[in-house]
Amino acid sequence: MATNKRRKLDGNGNPTQPSMEILKNWLKVMSAFAARQQLWGVSSASGAVEKAPDQGAENATQERRSETPSTRPIPSRNKRRSAEEPVSDSVDVDKGGTGYVRPGHLASRWRIANTKSPATPRPESAGEALVRQHSSFRPNKKNLQRKAGGRLRLVILGSYGVKVREGGATIAGAILSASDDVQWVHAPHCHALPVLRTADDTVIELHSHPAARGVRQLAKLNPAFAKLWNETPSQGADAGRAKNPCTFQIMYTSDDWPKKTILQELVSPAEWNKKLSGLAAAQRKATPVIFLCGPKSSGKSTFGRLVANRLMTDRGGSKSRPWSSVFVLDLDPGQPEYAPPGVISLSKVIIPNLSPSFCHPTLGQTKGQIRAHAIASVTPAMDPEYFIECAIDLLAHYRRDPDARCPL
């Protein structure tokens, strides 16, 4: 055993020979590294080299390839510059004295400078709100403004009455003339405000609504009905003490709006106006029966109100012709027009509907309600069979009515 160990030790030869070879190789590596450090030090001492952006990027890429992974410095993320700094054409040199060019940083700065969008012009007065024009009417000494061949439009907030003295006017699909009585309107800002349109030679009167106080007292039952009209904080206490308080306000511009409110006008699209004209023309030939359907929030109630007002007040070109009654078979238990929620009804309407549904929750038999059924639900899906039976019963009553020649 001892002999074998001695032979292995003897076979290794001189133990200092490998150490000398490793030392020589290490000195060669250190000499190359020192030469490179000296070369870089000379180049950095001569100052920054001015080059074009493209040429600098190419040289930096070549130097980066020639480096060894162990000696390549890592650029710090904290030394990134913002895109707002001016971009120079000189090549960036590391401040550590190594002379290492940062091509990534140069390329990113060059890319940001080329893709920077021009500054967009700002409005002169960004803080000022745009004033929107609502009514073309302007008060003067005669309380009238005339335009040759034009039309006037008034957007009114509150409760008021409209009386045409000369000419004609339209509001919410209804056509008014001098032979008609005063038509009463409730226009809270929680609903779209109807637009009163007149010709340039029309003379109208606006009256305060006698029932405005009763409608405003709904706020005592539910705060949701408060501050829906033309009252202001300064006029709130004085309005109740005044003998003849004004129950409406003409909206000339958006500056006249109540604070923290957004007013919306009742808009009838061109397609609706075309359809209304076609239905009014068909009424002169035969009694129309119109069925409205559609998804939620599609304007069924608004369009139905416009259709009923138009069919009722259309005289077919004869100013002396009286208005015709219109039957309304309301099959929407969720948002009924002339009945409480959960009720479907058949009503005979003799005057235009110019108010939201909560201002006339019921008509009564003396005012036009013929028959009604309570389904105890805001949707017919609870009991479809019972809902269909109620609808058929209401339709049968319409057919048996002596005035069945009126539109439905």
pLDDT digits (tens, 9 = 90+) for 78-119: 444 444 444 444 444 444 444 444 444 444 444 444 444 444
pLDDT at 373: 92
pLDDT at 308: 92
CATH architecture for residues 271-408: 3-Layer(aba) Sandwich (3.40)
Q: Is the pLDDT of residue 385 over 90?
A: yes
Question: pLDDT digits over 219-263, tens only?
Answer: 888 888 888 887 754 444 444 445 567 888 888 888 877 777 788
pTM listed for this prediction: 0.61
Question: pLDDT digits over 161-191, tens only?
Answer: 999 998 889 999 999 988 889 999 999 988 8
So where are the chain's domains?
Answer: 17-115, 133-267, 271-408
pLDDT at 43: 53
DSSP string, 290-339: -----STTSSHHHHHHHHHHHHHH--TT-TTSPP--EEEEE--SSS-SSS
Query: What mean pLDDT do residues 323-345 have?
Result: 89
Question: pLDDT digits over 107-164, tens only?
Answer: 444 444 444 444 444 555 555 667 777 777 666 656 654 444 557 888 889 999 999 9
